[in-house]
Amino acid sequence: MKNIVILISGRGSNMQAIVRACTAEGWPARVAAVVANRPEAEGLAFAQENGITTAVVPSRGKTREVFDAELAAEIDRHAPDLVVLAGFMRILTPAFTERYAGRLINIHPSLLPAFPGLQTHARALEAGCKIVGATVHFVTAELDHGPYVVQTAIPVLAGDTPETLAERILPLEHIIYPRAVRWFVEDRLAVADGRVTVTPRADGTSDSQDSQWLFGEDA
């Protein structure tokens, strides 16, 4: 049974999707804790309602180094096999990412390597992109880089705005992020030369969903 610790800053909709999938699909894992850097993070209430341990490690007024050290101490209390960033709005130090190397993942709202950082949908529209999406990736010291686990995409429609793109992509994020976490806890992810491969299920079945806009080796 693997322990998952999820980090949030706000409502944590991807956290909620992971919690629900873990229960519904009977993963060999449990969400051991949800940790926020903001005491007002709405996702804390959902976690508490679902019997998950919660904690707040305030980030305001602290250096990145001090905050990351306090955050790591809290995370390590729960003996994590995997640390999941789910709308966690902090840039992490290299020491932190190295501490959890190979067991720290994130979802970013673009088709990486395009548009790392903020305002991804606005930048994609300005660039004239025909498709946009989201990427689940392992976290490294370089912001929004690291081996890609799975991606999802949607076409850009006439009249789309950053807000409509975000609204249409979010339901697909709620598919690919739990899927990536499940692959990890089932020991089906392998990273070599910066590339992620997904080993097939032992029973030969697929994780396929009815969408042409999911990209992954077992998508």
| Locus of tokens 């640390």 | 83
Distance between CA atoms of 55 and 79, rounded to whole angstroms?
15
Residue 12 marked ligand-binding: yes
Q: Is 14 annotated as a binding residue?
A: yes
Is 117 marked as a binding-site residue? no
Burial (Cβ within 10 Å: 0-12, 13-18, ≥19) of residue 34: buried
37 is in an annotated binding site: no
Does 91 belong to an annotated binding site? yes
CA distance 151 to 176: 7
HSE-up (13 A, CA, CB side) for residue 109: 23
To the question of whether residue 90 is assigned a binding role by annotation, the answer is yes
Distance between CA atoms of 48 and 43, rounded to whole angstroms? Answer: 9
Please identify every residue annotated as catalytic: 108
Ligand-binding annotation for 3, yes or no, is no
What residues are designated binding site? Answer: 12-14, 64, 89-92, 106
